[in-house]
Structure 1
Amino acid sequence: MATVSVKRSVTALATSAAALLALATPALASDVSAQAINLRTPFDCGQVWNANTRTNHNPQLSVDFQRSDANNKNVRSSAAGKVVTRRDLGNTSYGRYLVIDHGGGWQTLYAHLNSFNVSLGQSVSTGTIIGKVGSTGGSTGPHLHYEQKLNGAVQRVVLNGKAVVYYGNTSITSSTGC
Protein backbone atom coordinates (compact mmCIF):
# COMPACT_ATOMS: atom_id res chain seq x y z
CA MET A 1 0.00 0.00 0.00
CA ALA A 2 2.86 2.39 0.82
CA THR A 3 4.38 1.77 -2.65
CA VAL A 4 1.12 2.80 -4.37
CA SER A 5 0.98 5.98 -2.25
CA VAL A 6 4.58 6.89 -3.14
CA LYS A 7 3.91 6.29 -6.85
CA ARG A 8 0.83 8.54 -6.69
CA SER A 9 2.85 11.25 -4.94
CA VAL A 10 5.61 11.06 -7.55
CA THR A 11 3.02 11.18 -10.37
CA ALA A 12 1.29 14.17 -8.77
CA LEU A 13 4.65 15.95 -8.33
CA ALA A 14 5.60 15.32 -11.98
CA THR A 15 2.22 16.61 -13.17
CA SER A 16 2.58 19.74 -11.04
CA ALA A 17 6.12 20.35 -12.32
CA ALA A 18 4.94 20.02 -15.93
CA ALA A 19 2.12 22.51 -15.29
CA LEU A 20 4.53 25.01 -13.72
CA LEU A 21 6.95 24.62 -16.63
CA ALA A 22 4.15 25.33 -19.09
CA LEU A 23 3.22 28.48 -17.17
CA ALA A 24 6.84 29.63 -17.04
CA THR A 25 7.29 29.55 -20.84
CA PRO A 26 5.01 32.25 -22.30
CA ALA A 27 7.05 32.39 -25.52
CA LEU A 28 5.56 29.03 -26.47
CA ALA A 29 2.05 30.38 -26.02
CA SER A 30 2.84 33.43 -28.18
CA ASP A 31 4.45 31.19 -30.85
CA VAL A 32 1.18 29.24 -31.06
CA SER A 33 -0.80 32.48 -31.20
CA ALA A 34 1.45 33.88 -33.95
CA GLN A 35 0.97 30.70 -35.93
CA ALA A 36 -2.81 31.04 -35.50
CA ILE A 37 -2.82 34.34 -37.42
CA ASN A 38 -0.16 32.93 -39.81
CA LEU A 39 2.19 35.89 -40.13
CA ARG A 40 3.91 35.64 -43.51
CA THR A 41 7.35 36.62 -44.79
CA PRO A 42 7.07 40.31 -45.82
CA PHE A 43 8.52 39.94 -49.34
CA ASP A 44 7.59 38.88 -52.87
CA CYS A 45 7.06 35.20 -53.61
CA GLY A 46 10.28 33.24 -54.13
CA GLN A 47 12.68 35.92 -52.88
CA VAL A 48 15.42 34.63 -50.58
CA TRP A 49 16.40 36.84 -47.61
CA ASN A 50 18.85 36.54 -44.73
CA ALA A 51 17.05 36.96 -41.40
CA ASN A 52 19.67 38.30 -38.98
CA THR A 53 19.11 38.21 -35.21
CA ARG A 54 21.62 39.23 -32.58
CA THR A 55 21.83 39.79 -28.85
CA ASN A 56 22.81 43.47 -29.22
CA HIS A 57 19.85 44.36 -31.46
CA ASN A 58 17.34 46.92 -30.22
CA PRO A 59 14.86 45.56 -29.48
CA GLN A 60 16.63 42.26 -29.00
CA LEU A 61 13.95 40.04 -30.60
CA SER A 62 13.68 42.09 -33.81
CA VAL A 63 14.93 40.76 -37.15
CA ASP A 64 16.94 42.51 -39.87
CA PHE A 65 16.18 41.14 -43.34
CA GLN A 66 19.11 41.59 -45.71
CA ARG A 67 20.23 40.67 -49.22
CA SER A 68 22.68 42.21 -51.70
CA ASP A 69 20.02 43.92 -53.84
CA ALA A 70 17.62 44.85 -51.02
CA ASN A 71 17.14 48.54 -51.87
CA ASN A 72 13.65 49.30 -53.22
CA LYS A 73 12.41 45.69 -53.00
CA ASN A 74 8.71 45.40 -52.14
CA VAL A 75 7.75 45.09 -48.48
CA ARG A 76 4.46 43.25 -48.01
CA SER A 77 2.08 43.02 -45.07
CA SER A 78 2.65 39.85 -43.04
CA ALA A 79 -1.10 39.49 -42.45
CA ALA A 80 -4.36 41.35 -42.94
CA GLY A 81 -4.87 44.36 -40.71
CA LYS A 82 -4.98 48.12 -40.44
CA VAL A 83 -2.12 50.63 -40.71
CA VAL A 84 -2.03 52.28 -37.26
CA THR A 85 1.33 54.09 -37.55
CA ARG A 86 3.00 55.74 -40.52
CA ARG A 87 5.93 57.92 -39.46
CA ASP A 88 9.08 59.48 -40.81
CA LEU A 89 11.68 60.12 -38.10
CA GLY A 90 14.18 61.52 -40.60
CA ASN A 91 17.77 60.47 -40.00
CA THR A 92 17.15 58.94 -36.58
CA SER A 93 15.96 55.62 -35.20
CA TYR A 94 13.56 53.71 -37.51
CA GLY A 95 13.47 56.46 -40.17
CA ARG A 96 10.37 55.77 -42.25
CA TYR A 97 8.33 53.04 -40.58
CA LEU A 98 4.88 51.46 -40.45
CA VAL A 99 2.96 49.52 -37.84
CA ILE A 100 0.08 47.24 -38.82
CA ASP A 101 -2.46 46.04 -36.26
CA HIS A 102 -3.63 42.47 -36.98
CA GLY A 103 -6.09 42.14 -34.09
CA GLY A 104 -5.88 39.96 -31.01
CA GLY A 105 -3.08 42.17 -29.64
CA TRP A 106 -0.74 41.39 -32.59
CA GLN A 107 1.11 44.10 -34.51
CA THR A 108 4.01 44.09 -36.98
CA LEU A 109 6.53 46.91 -37.45
CA TYR A 110 8.46 47.56 -40.69
CA ALA A 111 11.33 50.09 -40.45
CA HIS A 112 14.01 51.88 -42.55
CA LEU A 113 11.60 52.03 -45.51
CA ASN A 114 12.59 53.98 -48.61
CA SER A 115 8.95 54.81 -49.34
CA PHE A 116 5.37 54.14 -48.21
CA ASN A 117 2.69 52.52 -50.37
CA VAL A 118 -0.14 52.75 -47.80
CA SER A 119 -1.89 55.48 -45.82
CA LEU A 120 -2.57 55.79 -42.12
CA GLY A 121 -5.85 54.02 -41.31
CA GLN A 122 -5.80 51.93 -44.49
CA SER A 123 -6.91 48.30 -44.29
CA VAL A 124 -4.51 45.84 -45.92
CA SER A 125 -4.65 42.18 -46.90
CA THR A 126 -1.92 39.61 -46.40
CA GLY A 127 0.71 40.40 -49.03
CA THR A 128 -0.36 43.99 -49.76
CA ILE A 129 2.68 46.03 -50.85
CA ILE A 130 3.06 48.51 -47.98
CA GLY A 131 6.43 50.08 -48.84
CA LYS A 132 9.90 49.65 -50.28
CA VAL A 133 13.09 48.53 -48.50
CA GLY A 134 15.44 51.41 -47.77
CA SER A 135 18.14 52.72 -45.46
CA THR A 136 16.41 55.57 -43.63
CA GLY A 137 16.87 56.61 -40.01
CA GLY A 138 19.82 55.15 -38.14
CA SER A 139 20.39 52.44 -40.76
CA THR A 140 23.87 51.78 -42.16
CA GLY A 141 22.63 50.05 -45.33
CA PRO A 142 19.46 48.91 -47.09
CA HIS A 143 17.53 46.32 -45.09
CA LEU A 144 14.15 45.78 -43.44
CA HIS A 145 13.99 46.00 -39.66
CA TYR A 146 11.01 43.85 -38.62
CA GLU A 147 9.20 43.23 -35.34
CA GLN A 148 6.24 41.15 -34.21
CA LYS A 149 4.54 42.49 -31.08
CA LEU A 150 1.92 40.98 -28.80
CA ASN A 151 0.17 43.51 -26.57
CA GLY A 152 3.07 45.93 -27.14
CA ALA A 153 5.87 43.49 -26.23
CA VAL A 154 8.26 42.37 -28.98
CA GLN A 155 8.10 38.59 -29.51
CA ARG A 156 10.34 36.02 -31.15
CA VAL A 157 9.49 36.15 -34.85
CA VAL A 158 7.42 33.34 -36.34
CA LEU A 159 6.90 33.38 -40.13
CA ASN A 160 4.88 30.91 -42.16
CA GLY A 161 4.39 28.88 -38.96
CA LYS A 162 8.15 28.53 -38.34
CA ALA A 163 10.21 30.30 -35.69
CA VAL A 164 13.24 32.31 -36.83
CA VAL A 165 16.47 31.00 -35.26
CA TYR A 166 17.94 33.19 -32.51
CA TYR A 167 20.82 34.34 -32.52
CA GLY A 168 22.46 34.26 -35.92
CA ASN A 169 21.41 34.09 -39.56
CA THR A 170 18.58 32.17 -41.20
CA SER A 171 17.93 31.95 -44.93
CA ILE A 172 14.21 32.44 -45.61
CA THR A 173 12.39 32.04 -48.92
CA SER A 174 9.19 34.07 -49.10
CA SER A 175 5.98 32.26 -49.98
CA THR A 176 3.80 35.36 -49.69
CA GLY A 177 1.49 35.68 -52.66
CA CYS A 178 2.66 32.44 -54.29
Structure 2
Amino acid sequence: MAPVSTKKRALTGLLSAAAASVALVAAPTASAVSSADVGVQAVNLRTPFDCGQVWNANTRTNHNPQNAVDFQRGDALGKNVRSSAAGTVETVRNLGNRSYGKYIVVRHAEGWKTLYAHLNSFNVSVGQSVSTGTVIGKVGSTGGSTGPHLHYEQIRNGVVQRAVLNGVAIRYFGNTTITSSTGC
Protein backbone atom coordinates (compact mmCIF):
# COMPACT_ATOMS: atom_id res chain seq x y z
CA MET A 1 0.00 0.00 0.00
CA ALA A 2 2.82 2.42 0.72
CA PRO A 3 3.91 2.67 -2.95
CA VAL A 4 0.39 3.68 -4.06
CA SER A 5 0.20 6.34 -1.35
CA THR A 6 3.62 7.66 -2.32
CA LYS A 7 2.58 7.78 -5.98
CA LYS A 8 -0.62 9.65 -5.07
CA ARG A 9 1.35 12.21 -3.06
CA ALA A 10 3.85 12.67 -5.87
CA LEU A 11 1.08 13.09 -8.44
CA THR A 12 -0.77 15.53 -6.18
CA GLY A 13 2.43 17.52 -5.74
CA LEU A 14 3.02 17.65 -9.50
CA LEU A 15 -0.56 18.73 -10.19
CA SER A 16 -0.35 21.45 -7.53
CA ALA A 17 2.91 22.75 -8.98
CA ALA A 18 1.46 22.74 -12.50
CA ALA A 19 -1.65 24.61 -11.34
CA ALA A 20 0.50 27.20 -9.58
CA SER A 21 2.59 27.68 -12.75
CA VAL A 22 -0.51 28.18 -14.87
CA ALA A 23 -1.90 30.68 -12.35
CA LEU A 24 1.35 32.64 -12.37
CA VAL A 25 1.42 32.82 -16.17
CA ALA A 26 -2.24 33.81 -16.52
CA ALA A 27 -2.59 36.14 -13.54
CA PRO A 28 -0.87 39.27 -14.90
CA THR A 29 -2.85 39.46 -18.13
CA ALA A 30 -6.24 37.77 -17.79
CA SER A 31 -8.75 36.20 -15.45
CA ALA A 32 -10.58 32.91 -15.51
CA VAL A 33 -14.07 32.70 -16.96
CA SER A 34 -16.80 33.12 -14.32
CA SER A 35 -20.08 31.23 -14.17
CA ALA A 36 -21.73 34.32 -15.72
CA ASP A 37 -19.77 33.57 -18.89
CA VAL A 38 -21.25 30.10 -19.46
CA GLY A 39 -22.96 31.20 -22.69
CA VAL A 40 -19.73 32.47 -24.21
CA GLN A 41 -18.04 29.19 -23.25
CA ALA A 42 -20.71 27.23 -25.13
CA VAL A 43 -20.15 29.31 -28.29
CA ASN A 44 -16.35 29.33 -27.65
CA LEU A 45 -15.48 32.69 -29.16
CA ARG A 46 -11.89 32.75 -30.39
CA THR A 47 -9.34 35.52 -30.90
CA PRO A 48 -10.06 37.03 -34.36
CA PHE A 49 -6.51 36.80 -35.73
CA ASP A 50 -4.06 34.39 -37.33
CA CYS A 51 -2.54 31.64 -35.18
CA GLY A 52 0.37 32.80 -33.04
CA GLN A 53 -0.14 36.56 -33.49
CA VAL A 54 0.23 38.56 -30.27
CA TRP A 55 -2.15 41.51 -29.77
CA ASN A 56 -2.84 44.07 -27.06
CA ALA A 57 -6.53 43.99 -26.09
CA ASN A 58 -7.28 47.48 -24.74
CA THR A 59 -10.40 48.32 -22.75
CA ARG A 60 -11.28 51.64 -21.16
CA THR A 61 -14.12 53.30 -19.33
CA ASN A 62 -14.61 56.00 -21.99
CA HIS A 63 -14.95 53.53 -24.87
CA ASN A 64 -18.21 53.46 -26.81
CA PRO A 65 -19.67 51.01 -26.14
CA GLN A 66 -17.84 50.55 -22.86
CA ASN A 67 -17.36 46.76 -23.12
CA ALA A 68 -15.80 46.94 -26.60
CA VAL A 69 -12.18 45.90 -27.10
CA ASP A 70 -9.58 47.63 -29.29
CA PHE A 71 -6.96 45.19 -30.57
CA GLN A 72 -3.66 46.94 -31.29
CA ARG A 73 -0.12 46.11 -32.40
CA GLY A 74 2.60 47.98 -34.29
CA ASP A 75 1.98 46.32 -37.66
CA ALA A 76 -1.81 45.96 -37.45
CA LEU A 77 -2.72 47.46 -40.82
CA GLY A 78 -3.80 44.79 -43.29
CA LYS A 79 -3.65 41.84 -40.86
CA ASN A 80 -6.32 39.17 -41.34
CA VAL A 81 -9.48 39.48 -39.25
CA ARG A 82 -11.04 36.07 -38.63
CA SER A 83 -14.51 35.09 -37.44
CA SER A 84 -14.46 34.32 -33.71
CA ALA A 85 -16.90 31.42 -34.18
CA ALA A 86 -19.04 29.74 -36.79
CA GLY A 87 -22.07 31.72 -37.88
CA THR A 88 -23.77 33.73 -40.58
CA VAL A 89 -22.66 37.16 -41.79
CA GLU A 90 -25.47 39.53 -40.86
CA THR A 91 -23.99 42.94 -41.76
CA VAL A 92 -21.28 44.17 -44.14
CA ARG A 93 -21.42 47.96 -44.14
CA ASN A 94 -19.34 51.03 -44.88
CA LEU A 95 -20.22 54.16 -42.89
CA GLY A 96 -17.53 56.17 -44.66
CA ASN A 97 -15.42 58.41 -42.44
CA ARG A 98 -17.66 58.19 -39.38
CA SER A 99 -18.28 55.80 -36.49
CA TYR A 100 -17.27 52.19 -37.24
CA GLY A 101 -16.27 52.91 -40.84
CA LYS A 102 -16.17 49.54 -42.58
CA TYR A 103 -17.61 46.90 -40.27
CA ILE A 104 -18.99 43.36 -40.18
CA VAL A 105 -21.43 41.64 -37.82
CA VAL A 106 -21.51 37.83 -37.59
CA ARG A 107 -24.49 36.09 -35.92
CA HIS A 108 -23.56 33.00 -33.88
CA ALA A 109 -25.54 30.49 -31.79
CA GLU A 110 -27.37 31.17 -28.52
CA GLY A 111 -28.07 34.87 -29.18
CA TRP A 112 -24.40 35.81 -29.69
CA LYS A 113 -23.03 38.19 -32.33
CA THR A 114 -19.57 39.60 -32.92
CA LEU A 115 -18.80 42.99 -34.48
CA TYR A 116 -15.52 43.84 -36.23
CA ALA A 117 -14.99 47.54 -37.05
CA HIS A 118 -12.56 50.02 -38.71
CA LEU A 119 -11.75 47.40 -41.34
CA ASN A 120 -9.62 48.13 -44.39
CA SER A 121 -11.51 45.63 -46.55
CA PHE A 122 -14.21 42.94 -46.56
CA ASN A 123 -13.79 39.26 -47.53
CA VAL A 124 -17.42 38.16 -46.96
CA SER A 125 -20.95 39.11 -47.95
CA VAL A 126 -24.30 39.24 -46.13
CA GLY A 127 -25.86 35.81 -45.69
CA GLN A 128 -22.58 33.93 -46.06
CA SER A 129 -21.91 31.07 -43.63
CA VAL A 130 -18.51 31.25 -41.95
CA SER A 131 -16.54 28.83 -39.83
CA THR A 132 -14.42 29.66 -36.82
CA GLY A 133 -11.31 31.27 -38.28
CA THR A 134 -12.72 32.25 -41.69
CA VAL A 135 -10.95 35.41 -42.90
CA ILE A 136 -13.74 38.00 -43.00
CA GLY A 137 -11.72 41.18 -43.56
CA LYS A 138 -8.49 43.09 -42.97
CA VAL A 139 -7.53 45.45 -40.12
CA GLY A 140 -7.78 49.10 -41.10
CA SER A 141 -8.35 52.60 -39.80
CA THR A 142 -11.70 53.58 -41.33
CA GLY A 143 -14.51 55.61 -39.81
CA GLY A 144 -13.73 57.51 -36.61
CA SER A 145 -10.47 55.61 -36.06
CA THR A 146 -7.25 57.48 -35.27
CA GLY A 147 -4.94 54.62 -36.27
CA PRO A 148 -4.98 51.01 -37.48
CA HIS A 149 -6.65 48.66 -35.00
CA LEU A 150 -9.62 46.30 -34.73
CA HIS A 151 -12.62 47.49 -32.72
CA TYR A 152 -14.31 44.28 -31.51
CA GLU A 153 -17.56 43.58 -29.68
CA GLN A 154 -19.21 40.46 -28.30
CA ILE A 155 -22.96 41.01 -28.19
CA ARG A 156 -25.53 38.77 -26.54
CA ASN A 157 -29.23 39.40 -27.07
CA GLY A 158 -28.48 42.96 -28.20
CA VAL A 159 -26.20 43.90 -25.27
CA VAL A 160 -22.41 44.30 -25.60
CA GLN A 161 -20.77 41.93 -23.11
CA ARG A 162 -17.33 41.89 -21.53
CA ALA A 163 -15.18 39.90 -23.95
CA VAL A 164 -14.07 36.35 -23.30
CA LEU A 165 -11.70 34.87 -25.90
CA ASN A 166 -10.28 31.36 -25.98
CA GLY A 167 -11.97 30.84 -22.59
CA VAL A 168 -10.05 33.77 -21.03
CA ALA A 169 -11.78 36.93 -19.82
CA ILE A 170 -10.23 40.16 -21.12
CA ARG A 171 -9.22 42.50 -18.28
CA TYR A 172 -11.45 45.53 -17.72
CA PHE A 173 -10.24 48.30 -17.67
CA GLY A 174 -6.72 48.15 -19.00
CA ASN A 175 -4.66 45.95 -21.28
CA THR A 176 -4.49 42.21 -21.87
CA THR A 177 -1.79 40.65 -24.00
CA ILE A 178 -3.37 37.79 -25.91
CA THR A 179 -1.90 35.29 -28.37
CA SER A 180 -4.28 34.02 -31.01
CA SER A 181 -4.81 30.26 -31.15
CA THR A 182 -7.38 30.48 -33.95
CA GLY A 183 -6.61 27.99 -36.68
CA CYS A 184 -3.62 26.49 -34.87
TM-score, normalised relative to structure 1: 0.84
Q: Does 1:49 align with 2:49?
A: no
SS of the residue corresponding to residue 131 of structure 1 reads: strand
Larger radius of gyration: 1
Query: Sequence identity, in percent?
Result: 77
| Aligned mate of 1:136, from 142, 165, 170 | 142
Cα distance, 1:28 vs structure 2: 4.9
Whole-Å separation in 2 of the counterparts to 1:30 and 1:84: 26
Letter in 2 for 1:160: N
Task: Tell me the equivalent position of 1:19.
Answer: none
**Contact 1:30-1:155 at 8 Å conserved across structures:** no
What is the distance in 1 between the residues matched to 2:41 and 2:71? 20
Could you report, residue by residue, the CA deviation over 1:114-172 in whole angstroms, capped at 9, with x for unpaired residues? 00000111000000000000000000000000000000000000000110000001100
Structure 1: gaps spanning 5 or more residues: 1-26
Work out which of the residue numbers 90, 94, 97 in structure 1 matches 2:100. 94
Cα distance in 2, alignment partners of residues 163 and 66 from structure 1: 17
Structure 1 position 97, deviation (Å): 0.2
After TM superposition, the structure 1 = structure 2 runs for residues 9-158 of structure 1, keeping only pairs within 5 Å, are: 28=34, 30-158=36-164
Rounded to whole Å, the distance in 2 between the matches of 1:29 and 1:55 is 23
Contact persistence 1:52–1:63 (CA under 8 A): yes
Separation of aligned partners in 1, 2:91 and 2:109: 14
Alignment-derived partner of residue 11 in structure 2: none
The aligned length equals 152
TM-score computed with the length of structure 2 as normaliser: 0.81
Matched, 1:167 2:164: no
Unaligned runs of 5+ in 2: 1-32
> 1:30–1:80: structure 2 CA closer, same or farther, 3 Å change rule?
farther
Runs ≥4 residues deviating over 4 A: 27-30
Shift of 1:103: 1.9
